[in-house]
A and B are shown apart, each in its own frame.
Chain A
Amino acid sequence: MNESNLDPSPFEERGRRLFDASLERVDMRVRSRLNVARHAALDAAQASRSRFFRVPLWTSAAGVTVAGVLAVAIWFGGPGGHAGHVTAPAENAANLEDLELVASSDDASAPPMDMLQDDIDFYEWAADKGNTPDSGNVG
């Protein structure tokens, strides 16, 4: 192995043989600890591999769900009931508040959407009132 990858000299050979022989005399306590360390490393490798495969699936599933919920909220959330209606930021905030009010019904037994259907006339009237120019003077 003289300086490059050539054959080792007898001196180097002896060093190598002595080192190899010393490996056989590593005591059992050390061998046992090395064994434990190896298994811990293998567990870590498996954990890191499973994380690598799992995270994108989670994120993609969560992303699709969130995107779907947002699309539905935007589609039905507007005063006109469709996406073609362009709303101002202040109107959007009001719509979100309305949505929250409908969703957080005091009556836990009645689903919010049922309540909306029961009082559909009232909500239509309220929407019409809200869209008229003098709606701020009502009351």
Chain B
Amino acid sequence: MTRFATLSHAWMAWDGPAPAPEDAALDHTKELDKFLAEVERRAFRIAQVSLRDEDDALDVVQDAMLKLARNYSAKPSAEWRPLFYRILENGIRDLQRRRAVRKRLMVWLPGPKEDPDEEAQDPIDSVAAGGADVPELLMQDQAMAKLETSLRALPARQREAFMLRNFEGLDVAETARAMGCSEGSVKTHYSRAVHTLREQLGEVW
């Protein structure tokens, strides 16, 4: 009887103030949905700048979303951003490594052809209808294209530091966690990246 009394007390204590598990799971899912919706396009553009391929960038982002959801969604939401970008950067690096190995092994075969449509694409087509005027948007496109070209010429770690700090807005500590290095290294990589980019793009940019 003592055991029953203990169990019933435990049940009452658990059943009282705590939210129902279904509600907690729903809130958690909504929070994760909001987070992923916030970062998905930014992550895609960051991956696209590094990989120069839309489909590869989409694959890497999709993979990062799945890994975060499966393995880390139970962690506090404040930890999601650096974790997500760490997974993303690892995915980008893995893909770049695979590409390099494939390039070395398959050097005697013709490489993948550049998409002629991509080259021939009219910049006006990519401009969203309405909003800012076309010349301004074209100028922005050209400036961004220059920045992307210069970013691709940077060493990988400098590029990562610049994109995470500047594009994604992570602070030094978050960037360090995302890159898996010390805060001092982040500061060094970022500073060198900004210096090189400023030299390359010049004052006109």
Chain A residues within CB distance 8 Å of chain B? 1-5, 8-9, 11-12, 14-16, 18-19, 21-27, 30-31, 33-35, 37-38, 40-42, 44-46, 48-49, 52-53
Contact = CB atoms under 8 A, between A and B. Distances in A.
Given A18-B144, A44-B69, A45-B29, A34 B166 contact: no
A41 B167 contact: no
B127 interface: yes
Contact of A37 (B65, B141, B197): B65
Interface string B165-181: 11101011000000000
Contacts of A12: 166, 194
Given A18-B147, A44-B69, 7 more contacts: A9-B194, A26-B45, A30-B58, A33-B62, A34-B58, A45-B73, A46-B25
Interface string B64-75: 011011110110
Contact of A19 (B25, B45, B62, B71): B45
Interface string B103-117: 000000000000000
B16 interface: no
B187 interface: yes
Interface string B29-41: 1001100110011
What 9 A-B pairs are tightest by C-beta distance, nearest first? A45-B69, A41-B65, A37-B62, A41-B69, A45-B73, A34-B40, A19-B167, A18-B144, A44-B69
Contacts of B135: none
A56 to B, nearest CB: 13
A23 B65 contact: no
Contacts of A5: 171-172
Interface size class of B (residues with CB under 8 A): 35 or more
A37 B61 contact: yes
B98 interface: no
Nearest to A15: B166
Contacts of A41: 32, 36, 62, 65-66, 68-69
Contacts of B41: 23, 26, 31, 34
B157 interface: no
B19 interface: no
Contacts, number: 120
A73 to B, nearest CB: 26
Nearest to A52: B74
- Name the prevailing secondary structure of the B interface residues: helix
A106 B165 CA distance: 77
Contact of A25 (B61, B62, B128, B165): B128
Contact of A27 (B74, B126, B205): B126
Contacts of B126: 25, 27
Contact of B166 (A1, A22, A44, A52): A1
A22 B172 contact: no
B127 A48 contact: no
Contact of B61 (A34, A45, A49): A34
A1 B40 contact: no
Of A2, A34, A42, the most chain B CB neighbours within 10 A belong to: A34
